[in-house]
Amino acid sequence: QVQLQESGPGLVKPSQTLSLTCSVSGGSISSRSYYWNWIRQPAGKGLEWIGRIYISGSTNYNPSFKSRVTISLDTSKNLFSLKLSSVTAADTAVYYCARDPRITIFGVYSGDGMDVWGQGTTVTVS
Amino acid sequence: QSVLTQPPSASGTPGQRVTISCSGSSSNIGSNYVYWYQQLPGTAPKLLIYRSNQRPSGVPDRFSGSKSGTSASLAISGLRSEDEADYYCAAWDDSLSALYVFGTGTKVTVL
């Protein structure tokens, strides 16, 4: 079955750019059936959706991250990536990638619940 | 910036029924499906309920979801020790561009 695996530096300095990748195995990231998402969770706190990408290259981002976030796809390597610029200590969190099936609801495309998650990777900004 | 409100905690003894509420607004729960995730300690979240009341394959029928107006609920019947976890509701929010919002989370304790 499909598995997701996050990777990237565990320590990032303030003001620098956090870069993570999510490798997809057991399935193709080029499938037209899924959105690919990033979510984060500060220690002891709740979940926060960062954004998603579709195979067309279309992205949606949480406005809370304003222009700091970029999500991209690399179909040749079957992975997608997260870049978060100008990080501060508030960006310290466990970062998860997740798959979300794409459905149509009353003629509008939408996600259908994040059904596959990576194990998460801890990023500390210090 | 959770816009979906959940009680911080809930508890019950084995075999009991526990219900968790999730309160939102017309731009999220009021106009979109609700999703529920279970997060066991130290693990990634797991999809428990989709489309407000559907269970993915493998999720026990002890878990059920419902939605009414701008609120939703997750019920756990026949509570078991392995149900001790954090539970999050979620929904798409139409107030801006596509925005997926999570609830504040509820810690369920099995007494």
Q: Which of residues 18-57 of B touch A (CB under 8 A)?
A: 32-33, 35, 37, 43-47, 49-51, 56
Establish if A5 touches chain B: CB-CB under 8 angstroms: no
Strand order in the sheet with B71-76: B18-23, B71-76, B63-68
B31-82 per-position pLDDT tens digit: 999 999 999 999 999 999 999 999 999 999 999 999 999 999 999 999 999 9
Asked if residue B80 lies in contact with residue B63, where contact means CB atoms within 8 angstroms, the answer is no
At A104, is the pLDDT very low, low, confident or very high (cuts 50, 70, 90)?
A: confident
Residues of A with CB below 8 A from B50's CB?
112-113, 115
Task: Tell me how far apart the alpha carbons of residues A32 and A102 are, in angstroms, rounded to a whole number.
Answer: 8
Task: Tell me how far apart the alpha carbons of residues A34 and A122 are, in angstroms, rounded to a whole number.
Answer: 25
Task: Tell me how far apart the alpha carbons of residues B108 and B3 are, in angstroms, rounded to a whole number.
Answer: 20
